[in-house]
Structure 1
């Protein structure tokens, strides 16, 4: 039995080999005749190509995802750099605008300084101004070390804006002409009207209209919008003739007994980055 089985196996193997050889030979003959690859080569090529495609799909997907992540990271980095540049650009714009405003203010102060020939002036910079006391006071960067004294007039780019009310070694507090507190020392002023001067004091400030108010005027001289307003020098706390502004409008009280004179300040009281202090003997 074993011999017979072995003989059958040998016969089967021989037949199989012969068939394979025949197929190979026939495939090669057919390939040479038709100029196409042999059958077995095509089969191997097809199998290899299929495997390659199976491997390529996840490989390409991983590569594409890696490229996407890399591009995303590059875009993020570029975005951060652009944001930093934009922030720097905005800061430079603010600095430029501030410098332009200071330059305009200083140019006006040069013209104002030329009119104050009787006084030595000191330039100072505003270093503090609280929102709660915005219309009443500010702090400048000059003090007793620079020769400043209490009572000296302080001017903006076009006229009086206040007086020194407190002096420290290297800074001083300035009380503005728009201060409406009860204990403030009122500013004595004169309106140069067409029919003569009208004296009075600044009694109030209209924050909505940004106008100073000279109240309780009982004198009968005609006062018109545009009339010049200067310090009167009365009371000895301020020299006379320093420009304050001009008349904006004139009204009467509810009883018609006195007038209110609204004054437009020659200096912008809301923007006081640089100021001039006049070193007068009156403020000594």
Structure 2
């Protein structure tokens, strides 16, 4: 029995020694400067490469999937930033256009008031239109200036384009404006407009007494037969009445015809001012009369 154990130990030692020798031989052979692989190495290399492809391709697909997901998230975040930038630009563009339009309007008003001040020495108070009456029989508009601001009844109200109307009633902080489109020659309380032709003030004269809502024109009557007024003339206030000051543009003559009994003529006037969508108006203050119209 003891001899058998010794034999087995000697055999195991022998096998270990043979394995060590083969391992050293293989290592030396592998590390040697060779150009070609042996057939076992080729077989092992092909086997490992074949097995690796089954792991490499799915791993590549999974890595690509995560890369695509990350790219999509980055693309979504970039699109959100671009969308916010575009929205901000659109808001800024709208704000810029509004400011540019407002600046142009204010510049136009400034040029107008400077020109009128040099011509007539009037003072103009800028007022905001806060409401328009829906009453078909009393179409007045309310502005945000009142007696505390120096506004009085019968002051003329204009835009930079022409005459709008006059102050009909005044409160401390607001006033009502009666537009010239509400002129009624048949009313006992009518305030007619004494008018003339710009550039020919001494020779032309007439009375604007009503507005025709159907054709959107003012009616100018009591024009003398020899009056030089003609189509295309610019009609302005003459200042000879009891309400409106001199030199405010009313409109342009579009046509004329023989008046009642053939003794006078009648003219139709296109108003110079636009009455729809009014947001700002100018209240005319005549300095010599402390705001009262001449």
Q: Please give the alpha-carbon distance, in whole angstroms, between the structure 2 residues aligned to 1:164 and 1:52.
A: 89
Match of 1:153 in 2: 156
Q: Deviations over 1:90-115 (max 9, x none)?
A: 22112211211221122112111222
Match of 2:230 in 1: 224
Unmatched runs of 5 consecutive residues or more in structure 2 = 1-21
Q: Please give the alpha-carbon distance, in whole angstroms, between the structure 1 residues aligned to 2:272 and 2:282.
A: 13
1:85-234 matches, within 5 Å, as 85-117=89-121, 121-130=123-132, 137-157=140-160, 159-179=162-182, 185-192=190-197, 196-205=203-212, 211-214=217-220, 217=222, 219-222=224-227, 223-232=229-238
Q: Please give the alpha-carbon distance, in whole angstroms, between the structure 2 residues aligned to 1:158 and 1:64.
A: 63
Q: Please give the alpha-carbon distance, in whole angstroms, between the structure 2 residues aligned to 1:239 and 1:38.
A: 113
1:268-283 matches, within 5 Å, as 268-270=274-276, 273-279=280-286, 280=289, 282=292
Q: Please give the alpha-carbon distance, in whole angstroms, between the structure 2 residues aligned to 1:218 and 1:64.
A: 86
Moved more, 246-255 or 195-204: 246-255
TM-score (normalizing by structure 1)? 0.70
TM-score (normalizing by structure 2)? 0.68
Moved more, 183-192 or 152-161: 183-192
Q: Is residue 240 of structure 2 the alignment partner of residue 238 of structure 1?
A: no
Quick one: structure 1 residues 173 and 41, their matched pair in 2 at CA, closer, same or farther if it must change by over 3 Å? same
Quick one: structure 1 residues 218 and 69, their matched pair in 2 at CA, closer, same or farther if it must change by over 3 Å? same
- Of 251, 255, 263, which residue of structure 2 is paired with 1:249? 255
Match of 1:18 in 2: none
Q: Calculate the aligned-residue CA RMSD, in Å.
A: 4.2
Unmatched runs of 5 consecutive residues or more in structure 1 = 1-20
Question: What SS does structure 1 have at the residue aligned with 2:225?
Answer: coil
Question: What SS does structure 1 have at the residue aligned with 2:181?
Answer: coil
Match of 1:78 in 2: 82
- For the Cα contact (< 8 Å) 1:139–1:173, is it kept in 2? yes
- Of 34, 37, 43, which residue of structure 2 is paired with 1:35? 37
Question: What SS does structure 2 have at the residue aligned with 1:84?
Answer: helix
Match of 1:67 in 2: 71
Match of 1:55 in 2: 59
Question: What SS does structure 1 have at the residue aligned with 2:190?
Answer: coil
Q: Deviations over 1:141-176 (max 9, x none)?
A: 321012211111223325533111121222222222
Quick one: structure 1 residues 123 and 282, their matched pair in 2 at CA, closer, same or farther if it must change by over 3 Å? closer
Quick one: structure 1 residues 67 and 254, their matched pair in 2 at CA, closer, same or farther if it must change by over 3 Å? farther
The aligned length equals: 257
Question: What SS does structure 2 have at the residue aligned with 1:149?
Answer: coil
